[in-house]
Amino acid sequence: MKSYYNRPIMASANTTVLTGIKPTGVPHIGNFLGAISPALRRAIDFEHAYFFIADYHALNSVDDPRSLRDLTYNVAATWLAAGLDPTKIHFYRQSDISEIFELETILNTVTPKGWMNKMHAYKAQSDRNKEANKSVDSNINMGLYTYPLLMASDILIFQSDTVPVGNDQVQHVEIARDIAQRFNKKYKTDALVLPQYVLEEGIEELPGIDGRKMSKSYGNTIPLFATRAEWEQSVRKIVTDSLTHTPETFRLTVLYKIFAAVASPESTERLVADFTEGTIGWKDAKDQLVEQLIERFGSASETYAKLMADKSQIDTILDKSSNEIRTKAQATLYAAKKAIGVR
């Protein structure tokens, strides 16, 4: 598979950006700082921004209907409470745009099977199977195998020219571009816009309460939107030690790193001074972190709770956006169908 460019482009005005959010877990503060907040900041640089809940992608790992439904609402409420303005950002469920899946069927016909064989997720599972002396395709469904094709359709249906991703997703945007170029060349058309990726730089991973990377799979997260009692319960579990700390060594602790990520520089430096001078201990420091979480996320937590208490508000927002953007999806699909000769 040929790659048509070597570096990510810089975001610019008057372009279209697309971001997908997979509903596979309830977001935590690491998600907010590393993904949600940067994505919302970035969106204002674009004329058109499309943010979608990738519920069909989630089917590869979430097979309980109630869980998928609940997680979809959780993710939607989280982004809305975090500041997503649906009057400025198109916010929709992937499953509500049927044109995505019809375009995927068309893309299937121009995509070599060998390209799918090279995809990270498929190769990783295949390698695990080999190491365990299992069949190479054990526990691999077609949803996982063709995940990049569905992602390509997500991107291409709205003529997205910029797709922000982490390093692990660069390959998927590259293949979306390769597929679009192959389609356009084969059918002598410009129906599909060639997308490029943009990487978010300078974001550090937030440690979890046990010192490892904060991750739902480790069970070491601090909830993004919660009550005081829930935050206290999580913060109380942050790993600490009984050593005497200098300002330099204190800045290496888990508590400091989490505190610094959510608090102002002034509050953070005051915590360092108070702790290393011995005027406060670990319990006081943790209490201060709880107060910072309340100050930073308390108001948004109330908004989140109201949305989750009346999910019809979420449905209204997602349905309205889907209805508004269907025309563009239909136009892209029509152009692709006309190119292949079925219109």
**pLDDT tens-digit series, residues 175-210:** 999 999 999 999 999 999 999 999 866 566 899 999
Reading the block at residue 140, the tokens are: 């691999």
For position 140, what pLDDT does the model report? 87
Q: Is the pLDDT of residue 4 over 80?
A: no
At residue 13, does pLDDT exceed 50?
no
Q: Is residue 7 a part of any domain in this protein?
A: no
CB atoms within 10 A of CB 276: 17
Query: What is the reported pLDDT for 306?
Result: 98
In a domain, 211, yes or no: no
Q: For position 189, what pLDDT does the model report?
A: 97
Residue 10 scores a pLDDT above 80: no
Taking only the tens place, the pLDDT of each residue in 234-272 is 999 999 988 888 999 999 999 999 999 999 999 999 999
Tens-digit pLDDT profile for residues 101-139 = 999 999 999 999 999 998 888 888 888 989 989 998 888
Tell me how far the alpha carbon of residue 320 is from its chain's centroid. 22
Give me the phi and psi of 196, to 5 degrees please: -130, 160
pLDDT of residue 202: 52
Q: What are the DSSP calls for 98-158, one per residue?
A: HHHHHHHHHHHTTS-HHHHHT-HHHHHHHHHHHHTT--TTTT--HHHHTHHHHHHHHHHHT
In a domain, 3, yes or no: no
Looking at the structure, tell me whether residues 300 and 315 fall in a common domain. Answer: no
Percent of the chain with pLDDT over 90: 80
If asked whether residues 37 and 84 sit together in one domain, one would say yes
Same domain, 89 and 185: yes
Q: How confident is the model at residue 29 (pLDDT cuts 50, 70, 90)?
A: very high
Do 246 and 321 lie in one domain? The reply is no
CATH label of the domain that carries residue 165:
3.40.50.620
Is 8 inside a domain boundary? no
Please tell me the predicted confidence (pLDDT) of residue 205.
82
Q: Which residue range forms the structural domain that includes residue 144?
A: 16-203+311-340
The rounded mean pLDDT for the chain is 92
- Res. 2: pLDDT tops 70: no
Domain membership flag for residue 179: yes
Give CA separation, 286 vs 17, 245, 281, in Å. 39, 16, 9
Of the candidates 158, 128, 163, the residue with the CA atom closest to the CA atom of residue 144 = 128
**Maximum separation of any 2 CA atoms in the chain, in Å:** 77
What is the pLDDT, as a whole number, of residue 148? 94
Q: What whole-number distance in Å separates Cα of residue 134 and Cα of residue 69? A: 33
Does any domain span residue 6?
A: no
Task: Give yes or no for residue 12 having a pLDDT over 60.
Answer: no
CATH code for position 280: 1.10.240.10
235 in the same domain as 267: yes
**Residue 102 within a domain:** yes
Higher pLDDT, 202 or 276: 276
Kindly report, residue by residue over 302-313, the tens digit of the pLDDT: 999 999 999 999
